[in-house]
Amino acid sequence: MLLRKNVEMLFKNNKKSYVVYTAGAAVLKEIAKPVAVVSDEIRNIAAEMLVAMRIFNGIGLAAPQYGYSLRMVVFDVPSESNTGTPGEIALLPRMPMTVINPEIIAYSSSKTEREEGCLSVPEIYAPVIRPERVVFRAQTLAGEFIEYECGGLLGRCIQHELDHLDGKLFTDRLTADAARQIRGDLERLKRIGQSSNYRRISKK
């Protein structure tokens, strides 16, 4: 796993442009494949995803958003968001972090509504109802297995990012009312995405 200061360095010295695929891109609709071996290639993709997440000011980025149909996600959820669940206590101090083959193995019956946005759905925000807490299981790049109950913004972000691995966007989970409100903007985005090869280049 890259330390925060390495990411800062990569970020500063970086002249490469990064792309995040937006709604309408085929890769965002696929069921992503499990990561079989943590190879150098996987480590490189993870390192680039951390930089891309930073450049686009995201708190999470799933590999399909970066053009790879792989079950890998990077997170950088702010520590100030901690609501005290075991997973937040354990994982927020370790941000930014990369996980491979993440799973949600249980959902709380209680649900909450929260506004979501997505780097693949730029400038569109809408409230989404999801379980309040999940039990999250994953492997780190170093091969460590983690399993925690996560709520708060982290629990929310985990659910959002793991949806990307199954070809879903938050816009697929809206109430009829919310879907109606963003429909025009989303259709426009999908058209732009198609004509510009589904790419969005950092303005930095």
Question: How near is the Cβ of 75 to Zn ion at its closest, in Å?
Answer: 12
**Rounded distance between C-alpha atoms, residue 53 and residue 46, angstroms:** 10
**Rounded distance between C-alpha atoms, residue 58 and residue 50, angstroms:** 10
Question: How near is the Cβ of 177 to Zn ion at its closest, in Å?
Answer: 21
Pairing label, strands 97-107, 72-75: antiparallel
> Could you tell me which of 76, 189, 32, 67 has the C-alpha nearest to residue 125?
189
Which of 43, 173 has the CB closer to Zn ion?
173
Interactions with Zn ion, residue window 89-128 (CB under 5 A): 118
Total interface residues for Zn ion by CB under 5 A: 1
Which of 27, 118 has the CB closer to Zn ion?
118
Nearest position to Zn ion, beta carbon: 118
Which of 86, 117 has the CB closer to Zn ion?
117
Question: How near is the Cβ of 84 to Zn ion at its closest, in Å?
Answer: 25
Question: Which amino acid appears at position 203 of this protein?
Answer: K
> What is the contact mask toward Zn ion in residues 38 to 67, using x (rule: CB under 5 A)?
------------------------------
Q: Does residue 161 carry a catalytic annotation?
A: yes
**Residue 1: both structure tokens together:** 């796993």
Q: Among the options 115, 144, 161, 187, which is catalytic?
A: 161
**Rounded distance between C-alpha atoms, residue 85 and residue 28, angstroms:** 30
Which of 118, 162 has the CB closer to Zn ion?
118
83 within 8 A of 151, measured Cβ to Cβ: yes
Please, which residues bridge with residue 131 across strands?
111
**Residue 51: both structure tokens together:** 């930089």
Question: How near is the Cβ of 95 to Zn ion at its closest, in Å?
Answer: 17
Query: Given the rule CB under 5 A, which residues bind Zn ion?
Result: 118
Which residues are catalytically annotated?
Answer: 161
